């Protein structure tokens, strides 16, 4: 299983003071040194953390880059110019603290997916682990789905088993539809293992927990510790 490290919150800290540091590009290098298989970043419309210049510099690192973006014409143009390895289309609301739920997948995504794929970029759709969204993702020609793990990560211990079972069924269904499967959101050092143990997930995308741990032990070490869990 691959580990994609989301470095958005390094940029969140920088933007609080509009300084040069901490620098998400240096952070990405540290994450890779700690064992990350790739870097994930989300260029939001409000530019609250990652900026365009960051993404161009991240692209120059010789590593797998997953660009999370909303389905807008501007972002499509940007992605076609950048050519990341993977684009993950996410829903985006201005006033949310983080991506709150998965996409409502429909034919409106068709033109984004077809243009990205035509230029050699793999496309993933960030969705809740629901049969309806998986079928729709397959219908619009996505390569991957990224299953939103918030429904598992953010519930009480009593509800975790059924949330995990729902993700397990979703992974199987997605594979039955010929989709490749990533997963992420809300995963941390304590809750990641049962997700790692699910067969069929190719990559986990983890951000907040790693950056929060990095404040105490440094980013390279924080990624190393997650890497030991994500195998
Ligand atoms: N995957 C997607 C699509 C996301 O939007 C996010 C949050 O930026 C993550 C994964 C990572 O979530 P977290 O920061 O909770 O690990």
Structural domain spans, the chain: 2-229
Lowest mean pLDDT among 71-75, 90-94, 223-227: 90-94
Has residue 94 got a pLDDT over 80?
A: no
User: Mean of the pLDDT values across residues 195-219?
Assistant: 98
The CA 205 to ligand 1 mean position distance, Å, reads 6
Q: Tens digits of per-residue pLDDT, 116-164?
A: 999 999 999 999 999 999 999 999 999 999 999 999 999 999 999 999 9
pTM to 2 decimal places:
0.97
Q: Which CATH number fits domain 2-229: 3.40.50.1220, 3.20.20.70, 3.40.50.720, 2.60.120.560?
A: 3.20.20.70
In short, whether 205's Cβ falls inside 6 Å of ligand 1 is yes
pLDDT digits (tens, 9 = 90+) for 169-189: 999 999 999 999 999 999 999
Phi, psi dihedrals of residue 37, rounded to the nearest 5° = -90, -15
Binding-site positions read 6, 8-9, 17, 44, 49, 98, 186, 207-208
Question: Considering the chain, what is the average pLDDT of its residues?
Answer: 96
Beta strands in the chain (DSSP E): 2-6, 38-42, 64-69, 86-89, 122-127, 144-148, 180-184, 201-206
What is the mean pLDDT of the segment spanning 97-104?
85
CB of 72 closer than 6 A to ligand 1?
Answer: no
């Amino acid at each position: 299983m691959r580990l994609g490290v989301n470095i958005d919150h390094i940029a969140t800290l920088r933007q609080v003071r509009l300084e040069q540091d901490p620098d998400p590009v240096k952070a990405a290098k540290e994450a890779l040194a700690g064992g990350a298989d790739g870097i994930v970043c989300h260029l939001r419309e409000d530019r609250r953390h990652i900026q365009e210049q960051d993404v161009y510099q991240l692209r120059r690192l010789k590593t797998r880059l997953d660009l999370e973006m909303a389905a807008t014409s501007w972002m499509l143009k940007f992605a076609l110019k950048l050519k990341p390895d993977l684009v993950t289309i996410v829903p985006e609301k201005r006033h949310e603290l983080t991506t709150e739920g998965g996409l409502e997948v429909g034919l409106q995504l068709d033109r984004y997916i077809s243009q990205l794929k035509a230029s050699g970029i793999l496309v993933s759709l960030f969705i809740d682990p629901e049969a309806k969204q998986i079928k729709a993702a397959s219908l619009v020609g996505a390569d991957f789905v990224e299953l939103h793990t918030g429904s598992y990560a953010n519930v009480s211990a009593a509800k975790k088993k059924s949330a995990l079972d729902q993700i397990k069924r979703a992974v199987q269904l997605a594979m039955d539809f010929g989709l490749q499967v990533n997963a992420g959101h809300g995963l941390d050092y304590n809750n990641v293992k049962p997700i790692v143990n699910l067969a069929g997930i190719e990559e986990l995308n983890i951000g907040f927990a790693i950056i929060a741990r990095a404040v105490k032990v440094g980013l390279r070490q924080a990624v190393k510790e997650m890497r030991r869990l994500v195998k």
